[in-house]
Amino acid sequence: MAEVELVVRARRAVVGTDGAVRAVSVAVRDGVVVAIAGYDDPPAAPARVDLADDQVLIPGLVDSHVHINEPGRTEWEGFATATRAAAAGGVTTLVDMPLNSIPATTTVASLEVKQAVARGKVHVDVAFWGGIVPGNLADLAGLHHAGVVGFKAFLVPSGVDEFPQVSYGELADALRTVQPWDALTVVHAEDPAVIDAATPPHGTSYADFVASRPHEAEDQAITRLVELARATRARVHVLHLSSASALPALAAARQQGLGVSAETCPHYLTLVAEDVPDAATAYKCCPPIRGRANQDALWQGLRDGVIDQVVSDHSPCTADLKASGDFGVAWGGIASLQLGLPLVWTAARARGFALTDVVRWMAHEPARHTRLPKGQIAVGAAADLVAFAPDETFTVDAAALHHRNPLTPYERRALSGVVRRTWLRGVDTADDKPHGRLIGPDRA
């Protein structure tokens, strides 16, 4: 073996994608895992790290649903702050959504603007989604060849004027366009007719806000998406699944061999409508956080494999946009990038899941769906590694978060699981230098 630069030894490590936990010595050279040896048989290296017995070595997480907002709304977040928060939370790869930046990532030119702004600022690796909006079908090929991981569309208003929604017909046209490339299209799936028929959100009542985005909106949109996937044979992914009553349609699509997948988010798995105080707009997101029985069913969807992955939908804003207490006015989004791993782990272990399940949902599957060469500890993979102490507890302190605007509904929440150390391609991110790269999918 050529000279190894770093060896990380762990008595417990989540290695590969089979859920095995092993005692290993992980050897790194040039940012890549070059060998996985026994714990007591480490290769010689000038640098060696021995994890404490209370730590587990896991792969860096892949968060494929992050709104970084730069350029254009950098006061909401930005590449430097988002990626610093990611590294602190054990996330080594982000995929940036095509909004709420200005310009939105709907053309190659706008992608290049965003890449130019990000270059030299990122503390973890960053990939990009392209956007599907009315009138940009001709731009999709260029974005695909420029290296976006796939395309995002809204079926309802996105909340920002520069990223308008598409109709079902426009989405069908886009799916037919991207299908020959086997590109993934991710969709904010709420039916506009159902939303329009509901009472618009207003005032401080959280129950009224939930009623303004009923679960039927998700259910109907997802049923239509499955039909479009069947008609076009395109790969379709349901973003931020909130409504558990859509799970049967997703399960049926999977059984029929359609290219339909789904994600949910930490807030849907850890917060419930019954506990949201009125005027507490820190909890506002779209689709909304629903009731406890719905949450139980989402966890069952994860257990059954109908939901593939858990990602943050990190959607921050400035404090003033959340300050009104009016659910009809406040920005809808929850910032949780740095907290995702302990949030999900705390809730998952209480329901009998293993850490390997969390790694699958938050590392393996997001990497697989976006075709990024990440998300596992394996020979030939990037040496993105996290030293995680699953039994250590802490209380969330917003002031300790690296998000630019650390407003959070999780303030003072007791959690289990602390990220002790994160390596990006074998480099310790604790030096606070922007070692990240701008990356794209592996389409070989």
What residue ranges do the domains of the chain occupy?
Answer: 6-57+381-392+413-431, 60-370
pLDDT for the residue numbered 442: 85
Enter the tokens of residue 7. Answer: 């060896």
* Element counts in the chain: helices (H) and strands (E): 13, 17
| CATH number for the domain whose boundaries are 60-370 | 3.20.20.140
Q: CA–CA separation, 380 vs 31, rounded Å?
A: 10
Q: Where are any strands of DSSP class E within 217-370?
A: 235-238, 260-264, 309-310
Residue count of the chain: 444
Side-chain-side CA neighbours of 394 within 13 Å: the count stands at 19
Contact assessment for residue 333 and residue 158, using Cβ atoms and an 8 Å cutoff: no
Q: CA–CA separation, 404 vs 29, rounded Å?
A: 34
Give the three-state DSSP class for 78: coil
Give the three-state DSSP class for 250: helix
Q: CA–CA separation, 239 vs 96, rounded Å?
A: 14
Contact assessment for residue 100 and residue 131, using Cβ atoms and an 8 Å cutoff: no
Indicate left, alpha or beta for 203 from its phi (over 0: left) and psi (-120 to 50: alpha): left
Enter the tokens of residue 278. Answer: 């009125």
pLDDT in tens, 164-204: 999 999 999 999 999 999 999 999 999 999 999 999 999 99
> In which order are the strands placed within the sheet that holds 309-310?
130-131, 150-154, 184-188, 235-238, 260-264, 309-310
pTM: 0.97
Contact assessment for residue 105 and residue 130, using Cβ atoms and an 8 Å cutoff: yes
Q: CA–CA separation, 341 vs 336, rounded Å?
A: 9
Q: CA–CA separation, 160 vs 102, rounded Å?
A: 10
Start-to-end C-alpha separation, the chain: 27
Average confidence (pLDDT) over 330-347: 97
pLDDT in tens, 243-271: 999 999 999 999 999 999 999 999 999 99
Q: Hey, what CATH topology would domain 6-57+381-392+413-431 get?
A: Urease, subunit C; domain 1 (2.30.40)
pLDDT in tens, 101-155: 999 999 999 999 999 999 999 999 999 999 999 999 999 999 999 999 999 999 9
pLDDT for the residue numbered 444: 54
Contact assessment for residue 425 and residue 382, using Cβ atoms and an 8 Å cutoff: yes
Q: What are phi and psi of 354, to 5 degrees?
A: -100, 165
